[in-house]
Structure 1
Amino acid sequence: MKQVIRYSHMEKLTQELVDTFVKKVYVYKGKRVKIEWNFRER
């Protein structure tokens, strides 16, 4: 949650933001995208 608050002011997607929150991005045929996040839901 601290990371979400830390970046809540950002208006654009930056490399730092992606590195913090995104673990992996999968791109499939038919314009389908799956994002694997760096955190888990509780």
Structure 2
Amino acid sequence: AVDAKLLDMLKANGQISASQYTELQAELAKDQKEKQIAQ
């Protein structure tokens, strides 16, 4: 799974674009919401 720290690292390294970063962050937030609901 992707986490926020990994996302920041990839963005800092220039391995993902700003738009990819935003997209992945949104996905991450959605995943976290679903996990909270599941608990």
TM-based fold match above 0.5: no
Which has more helix, going by share of residues?
2
TM-score for both structures, normalised by structure 2: 0.31
TM-score for both structures, normalised by structure 1: 0.30
Which structure: larger Rg? 1
Which has more strand, going by share of residues?
1
